[in-house]
Amino acid sequence: MKQLLRVKVRLGMTVVLASASGMRGLAAQAAFATTVDVGAPSDASTSGVLPRLLGGRATLDSRAWALALSGQSLRAADGVATTFGSASSTRRFLENSSLRLSVGGDVLAASRGNDPTAWRGAVRAGPTSSGRAGQFDAYAKLGRIIDGADGRGLHGFGLQFGRTFSRGTITMRAEQTSFAIFQAPVRDTTYYVLEFPFHSRRTPTLARSHYVDATTQIAWRVRGSEWALDLGARSGGIATEGSRWARIDAALPLGGPVLLALQLGTRPGIPELGLPTMRAAAVALRFANAWRFGGGLDSVATNGVVAPRVARFALVRSSDGATSVVLRRVRAAVVEVMGDFTGWEAVRMEPHGRDEWRLALRVAPGLHRVLLRVDGGDWRPPPDLPLTSDELDDRVGLLLVPS
């Protein structure tokens, strides 16, 4: 098996365009990379943690000129995720252009593979993971490859299943891609591709182009940093392919607008492209001033694997009509709450799990003002609640309890 090792040092800076568009939080990114060796692009770690960026990247390679433009504008607020990219190089594996648009959970994608006559398109529809515990994902893809050489197309239908488990700061997603029907009427061969295909008729491995990938990703957060471990196994693969791979990604805020992204491990091969399993190591520095680091990791959504860890204060009503105020994702020794529903007397909340606090009490329908105190500090409005103020000065949170 051919081994490729890439050590990539990427330096870049981010120019914010947010002021021009007012509030979109978009930024342009330009970066230069020095590639010691060759390998597949590896942006997995950083793409997920720069959700507010729209960027382009130019890559200067030591062996070959390469130009790669990629962009990502992930909007946690309204669920609009847009990714587009284009890459071109003298190296075969980079000859790929893609466009990816997704709104909510729907994905429309088109890409052009390394075979200049092959295009592919796909529409994916279905719910997507938001990192909620126990969430089950299933979505279907419909694809079509238009083979420009003989004018015939390939039609496919596939299913992807996944399940997300969350506990504390750890999220695990298991996913299996099963493209069961993908018929390619070329060379009188009907074959099945169990991954969305990059199809190349010249690739001999297509003679055995059916395989199943099972992948698992475990992501967790440690003090603002984000780590993800990808494990995968392939069955029915091609002889030149490794049957297992593992990769670890880390995104480490360095303070200020600097993020250190690390990646180490192996990546699965892409037999349709003739790419073997690769070993990859990447180090990247990213600069952004559209993104708040430190606490910022708590305020932005990541790539959908790790749920946003922003603290939440909410009212929970159980089936028997009892109500509780719940504060989530706050690590503290003591949490107290006071407001209209406590007669403005401080009441301790009870710990409930690792970073959740609860207080069962009767809360009448209406609009309630509320304050929170953590570890004996100042009284502050609870996170995520609307604010207001009056002659008593300090801001308070507003909790609207429907009748």
Partner 1 sequence: MSALARSVRAVFAAAIIPLASVSQLAVAQDARLVGRLAPPTLAAITGILDSARVAGVPTEPLVQRALEGASRNVPPERIVATVRAWSSRLKTARTALGPSSDAELVAGASALYLGLAPARLERLRRTFQTVHGSRDLVLPLIVLADMIERGVPRDTAISVIETLGAARVSDESFQILRQSVVQDIQAGAAPGAAASTRARLYAKPGAVPPIRQPPPESSGV
Q: Decide if residue 22 touches partner 1 (CB under 8 A).
A: yes
| CB closer to partner 1 out of 78 and 320 | 78
In the region spanning residues 52 to 81, those forming contacts with partner 1, defined by CB under 8 A, are: 52, 74-81
| CB closer to partner 1 out of 75 and 91 | 75
In the region spanning residues 288 to 307, those forming contacts with partner 1, defined by CB under 8 A, are: 289-292, 299-301, 303-305, 307
**Beta-ladder partners of 222:** 225
Q: Nearest CA to 113 among 90, 94, 141?
A: 94
Size of site (CB under 8 A) for partner 1 = 85
Q: Decide if residue 42 touches partner 1 (CB under 8 A).
A: no
Strands 278-287 and 7-16: parallel
CA dist., res. 356 & res. 328, Å (int): 4
| CB closer to partner 1 out of 201 and 292 | 292
Do residues 229 and 211 lie in contact, with contact meaning Cβ atoms separated by under 8 Å? Answer: no
**Beta-ladder partners of 78:** none
Kindly tell me which residue out of 140, 366, 375, 377 binds partner 1, with binding defined by CB under 8 A. Answer: 366
Q: Decide if residue 226 touches partner 1 (CB under 8 A).
A: no
The mark string for 181-220 relative to partner 1 (x by CB under 8 A, - otherwise) is: --------------xx----------------x-x-----
CA dist., res. 219 & res. 96, Å (int): 28
3-state secondary structure of 342: helix
The mark string for 118-157 relative to partner 1 (x by CB under 8 A, - otherwise) is: ----x-x---xxxx-----x---x----------------
Do residues 365 and 296 lie in contact, with contact meaning Cβ atoms separated by under 8 Å? Answer: no
Kindly tell me which residue out of 308, 311, 312, 380 binds partner 1, with binding defined by CB under 8 A. Answer: 308
In the region spanning residues 229 to 258, those forming contacts with partner 1, defined by CB under 8 A, are: none
Q: Decide if residue 276 touches partner 1 (CB under 8 A).
A: no
> C-alpha angle 90/91/92, rounded to 5°?
115
Q: 177 — phi, psi (to 5°)?
A: -105, 125
The mark string for 367-396 relative to partner 1 (x by CB under 8 A, - otherwise) is: x-x---------x------xxxxxxxxxxx
Do residues 316 and 181 lie in contact, with contact meaning Cβ atoms separated by under 8 Å? Answer: no
CA dist., res. 86 & res. 202, Å (int): 23
CB of residue 217 to partner 1, shortest distance in Å: 9
**Beta-ladder partners of 197:** none
